[in-house]
């Protein structure tokens, strides 16, 4: 069907390098020797481990319990024995450790009892709950828990649901093959999302370099009698960025400060829809995903890979060339080099690219920026990368924020086109992390200041209370003395009239005494404070050497001479 498409500004056309891995159908990767399953595989709360070393687990058995609403469960990818629940290096550029469940497969790959659900008969809450318990997360790379995106906004009606099958990054073909081979299940998954969100329109965006995938999806849509629009969008990186695809299909622009739901749009990846369908209709939690293995290898291909498979075992299947010197996870534009080759495949792993200087030659030396503006023309968010670069470089982070650095999606278009070969994205990552670090520091400092001020307040209050107590005690003492004196007077005098006078006088004495006591404590406190101040402040007249002391003496002497003269002069003027 014909549809009015919109354009986003900027974008680049890197060589797609997709054909290499499209030659063969999806293959099932063999069971690895062991699986290292990180517990934290989605945005949000870190799931709690519910197994311990020595436990026997079945394929699909829960091993990590979701923590909070924005969190998703984690499951055993195959049957076997839990070897340990320990810290392992994560597939993240930081190379940091995180808690993982290490499983030794028993080779039987035995599933838990799976029950197919009829989601039509379930309440939306139950469906969302089930998706969370099945570990369904956004497989486009952001791994946001899907159930969290399936609640329609109460204020903004859901206009369009965008299904992302654009797959704009070079090398990656896993979504392409998924749509070609499993289109029906993808479309059924989209149906679940549609039923939960009730959008007016469902738009499936696929880049026009994947005609087979688009055809398969169209066939599946019509076979299932759905009214989804399969739209071929121009191939232009980053058309597969959620915000860019939303723009192309709906004309709406989602700023960094808003969510797409505020504009009545929600976006899901095709692979997410597929796993949602498997979870509902087959009772299978997310324990595997499609991964493209490409780059510097002999046999690039797409594999169905168990989550937790060490990357080097997967890469071996594709016969990497001997000059391979690392693994890039994700595409060449936004992916990153793994800290080591043994890190596990996770739900966010859509592609492994064997890295070698031959296919990714190191960037030539960085030249000065000539402000040519190529980066600004390539930026899909219409930022001014060269301005942000100047300010990032100068560590003028406030200015980088004025130029909207947090709207940068780090797509890499600016670095790609820069004739001066400036790693612009790297500068922006640096600036962003510095800003975050400073914000944390500031919050910490603010907290400390608050605590300190509260302590001061408390100290003062305590001091005041103490002084009051002392004053009361002194008053009581004085009153007692006065009473004694009165008693003595009474004893000596028989006149009742004088008694009343003395009794009247007593309170006055007591009040005076109280005042005196208060005054004394205040004076004492002032004295103490003064002493403290003097102790704390170093005077510049202390610790002087002999020469300085002589100088001061001389100056003092001169002053002695001048000062008596000065008033005289004034007097003369007056006269």
Partner 1 sequence: MSFTTSPYLLKDTSVSQVMIQVCIALIPGIVAYVWLIGPAILAQLVIATLAALLAEAVMLRIQNKPLSIFLSDGSAIVTAWLIALAFPPLAPWWLTFTGTLFAIVVAKHLYGGLGQNPFNPAMVAFAVCIVAFPALMSQWPSVGLQMPLLEQINIILGLAPRVDALSGATPLDALKTALKLAEGSVDVAHLLANQEIFGNFAGRGWEWVAGGYLLGGLYLWQRKLITWHVPTAFLGSMLLISGALWLYSPAQFASPLFHLLSGGAMIGAFFIATDPVSGCTTPRGKLIFGAGAGLLAYIIRVFGGYPDGVAFAVLLMNIGAPVIDLLTQPPIFGMKDKA
Question: Where does this chain bind partner 1 (CB under 8 A)?
Answer: 8-9, 12, 14-15, 93, 170, 243, 247, 253-256, 258, 325-326, 328, 330, 332-337, 353, 355, 360, 362-365, 367-374, 376-377, 380-384, 386, 403-404, 407, 412, 415-421, 423, 425-426, 429
Q: Give the CA angle between residues 414, 416, 417 to the nearest 5°.
A: 70
Cα 402 from Cα 443, distance rounded (Å): 21
In the complex, minimum distance from the CB of residue 368 to partner 1, in angstroms, rounded to a whole number: 4
Comparing CB distances to partner 1, the nearer of 199 and 332 is: 332
Minimal distance in Å, beta carbon 423 to partner 1?
Answer: 6
Nearest-angstrom CA–CA distance, 392 and 389: 5
Exposed/middle/buried for 574, CB within 10 Å: 0-12, 13-18, 19+? exposed
Q: Pick the closest to residue 230 from 202, 261, 190, 264 (CA basis).
A: 202
- The residues, any chain, with a CB within 8 Å of residue 320's CB and separated by 6 or more, are 295, 296, 297, 298, 354
Q: How far is the CB of 308 from partner 1 (least distance, A)?
A: 24
Q: What is the smallest separation between the CB atom of 343 and partner 1, expressed in angstroms?
A: 14
Contact yes or no for 163/270 (Cβ under 8 A): yes
In terms of CB distance, is 8 or 303 closer to partner 1?
8
Q: What burial class does residue 239 get, using C-beta atoms within 10 Å of its C-beta: 0-12 exposed, 13-18 middle, 19+ buried?
A: buried
Q: Which is nearer to partner 1, 316 or 429 (CB)?
A: 429
CB of 344 to partner 1, least distance (A): 20
Indicate if the alpha-carbon torsion angle 259, 265, 271, 273 is positive or negative: positive
- Count CB-CB contacts under 10 A for residue 490: 15
Which lies closer to partner 1 via its Cβ, residue 367 or residue 526?
367
User: 292 is written with which tokens?
Assistant: 């493209």
Measured CA to CA, the distance from residue 421 to residue 321 in angstroms comes to 28
Q: For strand 229-233 and strand 201-207, is the pairing parallel, antiparallel, or unpaired?
A: parallel
Which alpha helices (DSSP H) does 134-229 contain, by range?
A: 174-197, 211-223
Write down the least CB distance from residue 15 to partner 1, Å: 7
Residue placing its CB nearer to partner 1 in the complex, 217 or 254: 254
Closer CB to partner 1, residue 194 or residue 247? Answer: 247
- Give the shortest CB-403-to-partner 1 separation in angstroms: 8
Strand partners, 204: 163, 230
Output the CA–CA distances (angstroms, integers) from residue 259 to 5, 156, 256, in the order listed. Answer: 21, 11, 8
DSSP string over 346-407:
-TT--EEEEE-TTTSPPPPPP-------HHHHH-TT---HHHHHHHHHTT-HHHHHHTTGGG
Give me the least distance between CB of 304 and partner 1, in Å please. 26
Q: Which is nearer to partner 1, 362 or 564 (CB)?
A: 362
Q: Supply 214's token pair.
A: 């688009």
d(CA 137, CA 154): 23
Closer Cβ to partner 1, 66 or 424, answer by number: 424
Tokens found for residue 144: 């946001």
Minimum gap (Å) between residue 330 Cβ and partner 1: 8
Smallest distance from the beta carbon of 192 to partner 1, in angstroms? Answer: 29
Task: Give the shortest CB-42-to-partner 1 separation in angstroms.
Answer: 22
Smaller CB separation from partner 1, 308 or 320: 320
In whole angstroms, how close is the CB of 24 to partner 1 at the nearest point?
24
Q: Which is nearer to partner 1, 254 or 510 (CB)?
A: 254
* C-beta of 206 vs 354, nearer to partner 1: 354
d(CA 331, CA 422): 20
Radius of gyration of the chain (CA): 38
Provide, rounded to whole angstroms, the least separation between the CB of residue 5 and partner 1.
Answer: 17
- Min dist. Cβ of residue 21 to partner 1 (A): 16
For partner 1, the closer of residues 40 and 381 by Cβ is 381
Distance CA 539, CA 530 (A): 14
* DSSP secondary structure letters along 275-337: HHHHHHHS---S-EEEEEEEESBSS-EEEEEETT-BHHHHHHHT-B-TT--EEEES-TTT-EE
Judged by beta carbon, residue 8 or residue 119, the one nearer partner 1 is 8
Query: Which residue, 151 or 377, is less far from partner 1 as judged by CB?
Result: 377
């Amino acid at each position: 069907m014909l549809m009015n498409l919109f354009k986003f500004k900027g974008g680049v056309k890197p060589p797609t390098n997709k054909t290499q891995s499209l030659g063969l159908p999806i293959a099932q990767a063999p069971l690895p020797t062991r699986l290292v399953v990180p517990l934290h595989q989605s945005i949000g709360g870190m799931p709690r481990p519910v197994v311990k070393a020595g436990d026997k687990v079945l394929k699909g058995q829960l091993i990590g319990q979701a923590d909070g609403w924005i969190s998703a469960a984690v499951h055993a990818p195959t049957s076997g024995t839990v070897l340990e629940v320990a810290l392992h290096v994560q597939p993240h550029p930081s190379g940091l450790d995180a808690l993982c469940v290490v499983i030794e497969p028993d080779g039987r790959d035995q599933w838990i009892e799976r029950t197919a659900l009829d989601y039509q008969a379930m309440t939306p809450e139950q469906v969302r709950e089930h998706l969370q318990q099945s570990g369904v997360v956004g497989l486009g790379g952001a791994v946001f828990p899907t159930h969290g995106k399936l609640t329609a906004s109460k204020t903004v009606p859901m206009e369009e649901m965008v299904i992302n099958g654009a797959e704009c990054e070079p090398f990656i073909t896993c979504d392409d093959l998924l749509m070609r081979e499993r289109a029906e299940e993808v479309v059924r998954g989209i149906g679940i999302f549609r039923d939960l969100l009730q959008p007016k329109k469902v738009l499936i965006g696929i880049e026009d370099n994947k005609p087979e995938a688009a055809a398969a999806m169209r066939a599946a849509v019509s076979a299932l009698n759905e009214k989804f629009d399969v739209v071929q969008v121009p191939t232009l990186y980053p058309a597969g960025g959620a915000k860019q695809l939303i723009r192309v299909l709906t004309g709406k622009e989602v700023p960094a400060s808003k969510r797409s739901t505020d504009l009545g749009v929600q976006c899901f990846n095709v692979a997410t829809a597929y796993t949602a369908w498997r979870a509902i209709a087959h009772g299978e939690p997310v324990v595997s995903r499609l991964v493209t293995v490409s780059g510097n290898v002999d046999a690039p291909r797409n594999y169905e890979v168990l989550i937790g498979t060490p990357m080097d075992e997967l890469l071996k299947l594709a016969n990497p060339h001997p000059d391979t010197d690392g693994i890039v996870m994700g595409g060449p534009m936004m992916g990153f080099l793994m800290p080591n080759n043994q890190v596990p495949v996770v739900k966010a792993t859509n592609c492994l690219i064997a890295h070698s200087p031959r296919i990714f030659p190191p960037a030539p030396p960085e030249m000065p920026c000539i402000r040519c503006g190529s980066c600004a023309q390539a930026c899909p968010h219409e930022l001014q990368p060269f301005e942000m670069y100047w300010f990032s470089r100068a560590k003028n982070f406030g200015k980088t924020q004025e130029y909207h650095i947090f709207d940068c999606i780090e797509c890499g278009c600016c670095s790609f086109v820069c004739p001066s070969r400036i790693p612009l994205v790297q500068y922006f990552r640096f600036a962003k992390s510095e800003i975050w670090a400073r914000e944390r520091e500031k919050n910490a400092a603010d907290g400390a200041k608050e605590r300190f001020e509260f302590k001061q307040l408390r100290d003062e209050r305590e001091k005041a209370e103490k002084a009051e107590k002392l004053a009361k005690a002194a008053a009581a003492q004085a009153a007692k003395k006065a009473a004694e004196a009165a008693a003595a007077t009474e004893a000596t005098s028989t006149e009742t009239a004088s008694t009343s006078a003395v009794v009247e006088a007593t309170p006055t004495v007591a009040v005076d005494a109280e005042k005196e006591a208060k005054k004394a404590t205040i004076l004492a406190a002032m004295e103490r404070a003064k002493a403290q101040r003097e102790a704390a402040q170093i005077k510049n007249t202390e610790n002087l050497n002999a020469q300085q002391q002589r100088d001061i003496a001389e100056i003092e002497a001169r002053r002695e001479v001048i000062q008596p003269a000065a008033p005289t002069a004034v007097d003369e003027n007056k006269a």
